[in-house]
Amino acid sequence: MKVAWAGSRHAVEVGDRMARLVASDPVFRKDNRTMISRKDLFKDTLRKAAHAWKRISELRLTEEEASLLRQYVDQPGYVDLHWGMFVPAIKGQGTEEQQKKWLPLAYRFQIIGCYAQTELGHGSNVQGLETTATFDPKTDEFVIHSPTLTSSKWWPGGLGKASTHAVVYARLITEGKDYGIHGFIVQLRSLEDHSPLPGITLGDIGGKFGSGAYNSMDNGVLRFDHVRIPRDQMLMRLSQVTREGKYVHSDVPKQLLYGTMVFVRQTIVADASKALSRAVCIAVRYSAIRKQFGSQDGGPETQVLNYRTQQSRLFPLLASAYAFRFVGDWLKWLYTDVTQKLEAKDYSTLQEAHACTAGLKAVTTSATADAIEECRKLCGGHGYLNSSGLPELFAVYVPACTYEGDNVVLLLQVARILMKAVSQLTSGKQPVGTMAYMGKVQYLMQCKCAVNTAEDWLNPVAIQEAFEARALRMVVNCAQNIGQAAKQEEGFYERSPDLLEAAVAHIQLIIVTKFIEKVQQDSPGHGVKEQLQNLCNVYALYILHKHLGDFLATGCITPKQGALANELLGKLYAQVRPNAVALVDAFNYTDHYLGSVLGRYDGNVYPALYEEAWKDPLNETVVPEGYHEYLRPLLKQQLKLSRL
């Protein structure tokens, strides 16, 4: 199962080696992270980032190994935005000359970069950004300026204290005309003493949700007061401004930007499976250790994992972790495919690629955030302790529902693309890729589910057809309702809640389809394919059960067939139960990376909980600070009362 999860034996070996390298290094300690001040936490982040770079250089790690090492350090910091956003932005939007100048500096950490797009007043609406970049032909410079309070850059990770440079997104103005949002490389701090350069005001935006968690990241605020930069620091791969101030489009098509977008979103989906699998690993292991009730005649109590209520809440989340992993692997292939087609100037699949990447980002991150919180509840009271690892995991993960596109906004973008695809069916234009099922519109709009027994739901054809029919009928229904509106945009606005649900149905179809395809591939290892089949069925039928109203309202299945699916789910949980711990062990996480006393590999939970409690700073003294000032006077009835 480790190979099935990791993708290859090589991936298992490299991941294991890097995880153990991090776990064995005392600099990467993280068990005290929720107990220290934010200043100390940030300094600790700087120390770990520097040490990680030192080890990468000393050991001459490959790019793959270095990426895994940073992942297992498991502490958000400026490095994430430097590699994840700053470098890709220059790669995707910079000319060859700009890449030759800036990338070597970034690769060697001679500069530290961030991605300054979001502003105090605008996030999802990128076209509404207010920062300006006005070209001055007299000096051959752009003047970067923050004209309003709401134009302040707000949230960029790494900006607050660490970054020396940023890719800043601003409204390009030349010859009195506004040409919209473009990227500019701007130096923010001195490379000698790290002080802000003239005209630049910047700092950290303050503490964030949770203890530890994302508070290790210096999310920043940035304002410009007529800051001048050379003209050649505009990212000019797609367009440029000449020395005379003329705005010129390059020969490079703007569609190339889709490649970077797909790359970033496939990374987010992959991160969803990692975060969800960590939470599920903790909950499954602890549920196997924890015993409550069920004792008869003085015998042992029942393992919590044996209760059907625990299984019905936990095993779908286990199946979801695998589902998100496999659809994430498929997105890596999609990124390669999109890149190759873009280089060949084939833009036929771009809309479909945008729809599935945006939708998968939205669905997987929302589901993962909810699932981490559910895993905390599944661990009972102990799950609320910081030492369980779950509160911090939730706090550090939940921003994913907002960054790189608010999930609701992204799903509405998916819905627009689906509406367009449906409208083109009558013209004979066949949908491609993950929307190809829409080409079967006549059949799917009238087909009847053939399930007669619970076991009939084990047929992947029956499952996939039900999900295809549900998605298509919801999409067509939305299109018909919008068509009845006086104006299309008004109809879209009025039906936006329905459009969200239709988009979710489409994305869930993609996840189920990719899971089925994974199961149908050859899987090395005895019994692996059988376990994957069980998890695939659990995921699909859990989604069907959770969204039963959709399937019934669209006539895809009957109430009886819905009941049969639920009946089969119970049987599948019983089949997953004997291997549940092995299925989370397959994630191959070290105790250091998991960061949970409840999810320990050795199962020695209760001594670890007891020991961890004494590490809290509050227990450094037996008698608490404040006893003589407040507790003793109260207990001795010596409180000084003011006379009214």
Please, are residues 587 and 295 in contact by the beta-carbon 8 Å criterion?
A: no
Residue 580: closest CA among 386, 390, 368, 378: 378
Partner residues linked to 151 by β-bridges: none
The CA distance from 365 to 514, in Å, is 18
CA distances from 329 to 276, 280, 542, 598 (A): 15, 20, 22, 29
Known binding residue 554? Answer is no
Cβ within 8 Å of residue 430, ≥6 positions away: 436, 439
CA distances from 97 to 69, 91, 420 (A): 31, 11, 39
At residue 204, φ and ψ (nearest 5 deg) are -90, 150
Cβ-in-10-Å burial (0-12, 13-18, 19+) of 421 comes to buried
The CA distance from 519 to 504, in Å, is 23
Please, are residues 564 and 606 in contact by the beta-carbon 8 Å criterion?
A: no
404 is annotated as an active-site residue: yes
Given 392, 404, 465, 468, which residue is catalytic?
404
Paired sense of beta strands 200-204 and 165-174, if any = unpaired
The CA distance from 206 to 120, in Å, is 14
CA distances from 128 to 117, 121, 220, 405, 630 (A): 11, 9, 20, 14, 54
Please, are residues 188 and 166 in contact by the beta-carbon 8 Å criterion?
A: yes
DSSP 8-state code for residue 630: I
Could you give the residue ranges of the DSSP H alpha helices within 203-307?
Answer: 257-289
The CA distance from 290 to 278, in Å, is 18
Please, are residues 450 and 462 in contact by the beta-carbon 8 Å criterion?
A: yes
- Cβ neighbours around 620 below 10 Å, total: 10
Please, are residues 627 and 314 in contact by the beta-carbon 8 Å criterion?
A: no
The CA distance from 62 to 636, in Å, is 67
- Cβ neighbours around 540 below 10 Å, total: 28
The CA distance from 139 to 327, in Å, is 51
- What Rg do the C-alpha atoms of the chain give, in angstroms? 27
The CA distance from 549 to 537, in Å, is 19
- In the structure encoding, which two tokens stand for residue 438, read together? 């829409």
- In the structure encoding, which two tokens stand for residue 125, read together? 């609406």
Q: How far is CA 69 from the centre of its chain?
A: 19
Could you give the residue ranges of the DSSP H alpha helices within 290-424?
Answer: 308-343, 350-378, 390-397, 407-423
The CA distance from 629 to 635, in Å, is 11
The CA distance from 513 to 327, in Å, is 9
Known binding residue 203? Answer is no
Partner residues linked to 224 by β-bridges: 200
- In the structure encoding, which two tokens stand for residue 159, read together? 């900006």
Partner residues linked to 230 by β-bridges: 141
3-state DSSP of 79-110:
HHHHHHHHHHHHHHHCCHHHHHHHHHHHHCCC
Residues within the annotated binding site for FAD? Answer: 118, 157
Active site residues: 404
